[in-house]
Structure 1
Amino acid sequence: MSNYTKEEIVKSVPQKGFFGHPKGLFTLFFTEFWERFSYYGMRAILIFYMYYEVSQGGLGLDKGTAASIMAIYGSLVYMSGIIGGWIADRLLGSTSTVFYGGILIMFGHIALSLPGSLTAFFISMVLIVIGTGLLKPNVSNVVGDLYSPEDTRRDSGFSIFYMGINMGGFLAPLIVGTVGQEYNFHYGFAIAAIGMFFGLITFMVSKKNSLGLAGRNVPNPLTKAERSVTIRRFIIGIIVIVILFAVTIPTGILTINGLTYVVSFLGLSIPTAYFIVMYKSKKTTADERSRILAYIPLFIAAMVFWALQEQGAIILAQYADQSTNLDYAGLDIQSSWFQSLNPLFIIFLAPVFAWMWLRLGKKQPSTPKKFALGIIFAGLSFLLMVIPAVASGDNLSSPLWLVFSFLIIVLGELLLSPVGLSATTKLAPAAFASQTMSVWFLTNAGGQALNAQIVKLYSADTEAVYFGVLGAVAVLLGIILMFIAPKIQKLMKGIH
């Protein structure tokens, strides 16, 4: 199997063609646009589908259970990126893995669009979890392949790519949310499936003339003997998992609450194990080991950020549905529409940040300082929500509080998320390139694994304390990270 150098890959990609960036950015921009349309469209109505009564077209679960399922589902979506990274690094390469992931996502949304039992609901979730794990980390890794490590367009390119993600995320709640809440949840899920289909078509039609060799490498391929062992272990693992679920679920041993603890443990233990394996590997150089040590505090900071940001689709979604005035200024607002605020702000602000990083060049803040500012803004967005939680009392609060809360956390997201994607491609050990991108997405998995426990503490009676404590903790951690940023930068060994 061919293994190309970084120089060969970059030379094979047309370097001009999409807003001054490599032509392949167009392909990846619109592939991720449609994948995110399908994912965020489904997610915008998922929690309502779970806790709305059966007579309203929902599953009739209690709100606490629905919140926990949202958290563990989100965690598993990003945790499954480990599988996608491993398959890309050792079997298929990133480009092929992206395609197969898209197919599984599409079938998962098709299954969700068909009325069925709670069992059918969980089957569709499994398909989407695995499919997203195959696609999500690898499409970002292909973006990294478009640029040389020294190319100053990298952060700008990832910001533009991130804008494409959020264009899909902006439109999806407005379309899928309206159809799902006004007419039928399953119609909304069907639209999400159609979105993923468009993404697959975009990818297959345009990749030949725009991506070149990007995503074609299999940096650490399995030997013939390793393939046999891997297949055998995979089959045994599937059998064990099926038996465990078949025994523990009907007997009541494994409950939703119990599953949250399992996912929370995995969300923290899996990245820890990955860092140990990469650090101790003989294929990791001395400089790469130092960069892994630099990456650990960035990982923790990102995990804290995502723990707050992802509550926008859980706790703030419930707040929008139950505690917010949805008949405002003559508008009949759907509670799912608030999920469009985050991507809407990113669409307008991402070009500003991309321009700013290009303008500043080497004078821009270091990656650790950008991360510190990111989680400080996340904390401030939660501290803001203390005001309506205290002032509104038993009355419905103005939707503007949610609007400003989402705006503040977006500022943090643009400081941290696209920069984190770029930093990961630069700090990754060569032998673990795709898998390190999967580790980056474990920051989201870890954050949502924490959420599986944290969201249990939320209720209408604890709103002010809930928002205040989480916001204050995030701000404090951001300040600490700002102080240790120079030491982290030194460990990065020349990577900025």
Structure 2
Amino acid sequence: MDQKTDKFPQFLKMLCFVEMWERFSYYGMRALLVLFLTSHLGFTDERAFTIYSLFAATGYAIPILGGFLADKLMGFRNMVLLGGIVMIAGHACMSLVKFEPGLLYLGLSLIAIGTGMFKGNVTNLLSSCYGKDDPERSRGFTLFYVGVNIGAILASISCGYVAHLFGWHYGFGLAGIGMSIGLIFFLKFQNLLGDSGLSPYPELMNKRILGIKIFGIVLIGSFLSSSIIAKMLIHSEFFTNMLIFIGITALGIFIYIISKLSAEQRRKLVALSILVVFFLCFFALEMQLGSLVNLFTERNVINNVLGITIPASISQAINPLSIIIFGFLFGTYMKFKQKYATSMFTLGLLTMAMCFFTLYIGCLNSNIEGKVEYLYLIIAISFMGLGELCIAPLVQEQATTLAPKNLRGVVMGIVMLSLAFSNLAGVAISKFMSVPSVNGKINYLESLEIYKEGFLKVGIFNLMLVIVFLFFFNFIHKVVTNSSCTKN
């Protein structure tokens, strides 16, 4: 396609818009979920953190199945469509929880399945639209990552205020409307993708089993499996063990796959695997935005700024807003970013330490009521946003660049699976900062001390992480730098 030579090709604009609305639906729900569980349903911090983390972990574990189905049967485009449909059904259930509480777990499981089918495949779809050596490829990935954060900003503000003013179910419903807009737009303008992302087996896709095409069978299977996952969310300990088993199994399969590749391909995937381990550690802390940091904001941050009361859920907009601001800077200096990509990854790890040290300093300077100035929260989350922009686009880009062409879906699934384990690790982090309540009430001075001690420990952990990464720096830098000049 001629449009591939443009800095902002039509397929990039279209996929950015679709992913923007998918992120709108996800972040709208994420901004509300833990607050809804603790304040409306009366769950303890620990229970709310567990549900939130397992829900998010499921959404990031399923992409390995979604990637396999895309590579071996359906193609990236069909998987994006299927994921969108399932997510809309999940948001519909969440909007009805007020009237039927039993729909909570079903809604979460549907959203998790839909997210898993959608997320990795839309990234691979973008990758397939670019040529491997396209000079605008790296710029496209960064701008794609920036563009989708517009959806996160809109969701955090609009869903947060709608839930605050009219009720939780309206906030969840608005998130579902966002996904519907994205899906309709994808169906209308998918011709901009040309032949990219189509099923590798079109004849098989048109076959019918019991009168139903393959797409319909996979869709029905997704809905049926949601009831199983819903039961597992209720029995969280069993579900956690099962996810760990899946992760170990996937790791074993991945090691076997690597062993069958050429020496050069193995070298590339080993470098990618190291990046993914640190990527996992970073996002174990980033995932705390929707749970731990959200409750800290609700309880111990002054929510009146310039005379305006800001609901805690609105703070979720700070992260994507900072990503957009820093992202445009990175887009302007893209040549610098490409040359020093590994250094920027190191910077990303360091900024997470700065984030939690800033929150710690904020706690040290709290008022007599145990409340922290909102400015500390803005600075801390902005550090996190800068770190995310340094780390996530690089890993996503290298997952599609370093992997052999016939394994890109599976490799992207592995990257998403690492985010599942980020959430499981996040359970442990958030649990040691859980705040006990007495008759449903929180002592803000007590919660401040718990958060303060926890923020300091997390900051120190991140500094240690940076030191460990420096041991692998030269090896990863060589592989990443050479990847744009070699082909699988």
TM-score range, shorter-chain basis? 0.7 to 0.9
Of 342, 346, 358, the match for 1:372:
346
Counterpart Cα distance in 2 of 1:305 and 1:173: 22
Distance 1:202 1:13, change over 3 A: farther
Distance 1:291 1:173, change over 3 A: same
Give the CA deviation at 1:109.
Answer: 0.4
Matched, 1:23 2:18: no
Give the CA deviation at 1:476.
Answer: 1.8
Of 470, 484, 494, the match for 2:458:
470
Of 90, 93, 97, the match for 2:75:
93
- How far does the alpha carbon of each residue in 1:24-63 deviate from its partner, in whole angstroms, 9 at most, with x for none? 10110100011111111111111111111xxxxx222222
> Identity percentage over the alignment?
28
Matched, 1:388 2:367: no
Matched, 1:50 2:37: yes
Matches within 5 A, 1:207-356: 207-208=190-191, 210-216=192-198, 218=200, 255-263=235-243, 265-266=244-245, 268-269=247-248, 271-281=250-260, 284-356=261-333
- How far does the alpha carbon of each residue in 1:410-458 deviate from its partner, in whole angstroms, 9 at most, with x for none? 1111111111111111011222111111112223212111012221100
- How far does the alpha carbon of each residue in 1:89-133 deviate from its partner, in whole angstroms, 9 at most, with x for none? 111100111011101111110111113444311111111111111
Counterpart Cα distance in 2 of 1:437 and 1:335: 33
**Structure 2 residue aligned with 1:434:** 409
Distance 1:386 1:260, change over 3 A: farther
Distance 1:297 1:13, change over 3 A: same
Matches within 5 A, 1:68-83: 68-83=50-65
**Structure 1 residue aligned with 2:174:** 191
Give the CA deviation at 1:388.
Answer: 2.1
Q: TM-score, normalised by structure 2?
A: 0.87
The worse-fitting range, judged by mean Cα deviation, of 348-357 and 192-201 is 348-357
The question of whether the paired residues in 2 share the 8 Å contact of 1:34 and 1:199 is answered with yes
Distance 1:119 1:221, change over 3 A: farther
Counterpart Cα distance in 2 of 1:274 and 1:116: 44
Give the CA deviation at 1:174.
Answer: 0.8
Q: Which AA in structure 1 matches 2:236? A: I
- How far does the alpha carbon of each residue in 1:291-332 deviate from its partner, in whole angstroms, 9 at most, with x for none? 111111101110011011110111110000011111232111
Counterpart Cα distance in 1 of 2:172 and 2:226: 28
Distance 1:97 1:68, change over 3 A: same
Counterpart Cα distance in 1 of 2:426 and 2:201: 34
- Extract unaligned runs of 5+ from structure 2: 436-446
Matched, 1:67 2:41: no
**Structure 1 residue aligned with 2:426:** 451
Of 374, 378, 388, the match for 1:403:
378
- How far does the alpha carbon of each residue in 1:119-153 deviate from its partner, in whole angstroms, 9 at most, with x for none? 31111111111111111101100111122222221
Give the CA deviation at 1:475.
Answer: 2.0
The question of whether the paired residues in 2 share the 8 Å contact of 1:65 and 1:256 is answered with no
Counterpart Cα distance in 1 of 2:199 and 2:60: 23
Counterpart Cα distance in 1 of 2:136 and 2:322: 22
Q: TM-score, normalised by structure 1?
A: 0.86
Q: Which AA in structure 2 matches 1:292? A: L
Q: Which AA in structure 2 matches 1:163? A: V
Counterpart Cα distance in 2 of 1:330 and 1:80: 44
The worse-fitting range, judged by mean Cα deviation, of 391-400 and 61-70 is 391-400
The question of whether the paired residues in 1 share the 8 Å contact of 2:109 and 2:226 is answered with no
Distance 1:220 1:150, change over 3 A: farther
Q: Which AA in structure 2 matches 1:306? A: F
- How far does the alpha carbon of each residue in 1:67-92 deviate from its partner, in whole angstroms, 9 at most, with x for none? 11111111111111112111101111
Q: Which AA in structure 2 matches 1:15? A: K
Counterpart Cα distance in 2 of 1:321 and 1:126: 26
**Structure 2 residue aligned with 1:416:** 391
Counterpart Cα distance in 2 of 1:139 and 1:237: 18
Q: Which AA in structure 1 matches 2:320? A: P
Counterpart Cα distance in 2 of 1:485 and 1:404: 28
Give the CA deviation at 1:245.
Answer: 8.3
Counterpart Cα distance in 1 of 2:235 and 2:95: 25
- Extract unaligned runs of 5+ from structure 1: 1-11, 53-57
The question of whether the paired residues in 1 share the 8 Å contact of 2:330 and 2:337 is answered with no
The question of whether the paired residues in 2 share the 8 Å contact of 1:156 and 1:355 is answered with no
Give the CA deviation at 1:268.
Answer: 4.6
Counterpart Cα distance in 1 of 2:455 and 2:307: 29
Distance 1:88 1:394, change over 3 A: same
Where 1:462 maps in the other structure, the secondary structure is helix
Distance 1:413 1:92, change over 3 A: same
- How far does the alpha carbon of each residue in 1:242-286 deviate from its partner, in whole angstroms, 9 at most, with x for none? 78987x99xxxx7435544544x25752552343142134xx333
Distance 1:474 1:361, change over 3 A: closer
Q: Which AA in structure 2 matches 1:415? A: C
The question of whether the paired residues in 1 share the 8 Å contact of 2:80 and 2:121 is answered with yes
Give the CA deviation at 1:218.
Answer: 3.2
Of 150, 153, 174, the match for 2:157:
174
Of 9, 21, 25, the match for 1:38:
25
Q: Which AA in structure 2 matches 1:185? A: W
Counterpart Cα distance in 1 of 2:245 and 2:363: 33
Distance 1:316 1:238, change over 3 A: closer
Distance 1:375 1:271, change over 3 A: farther
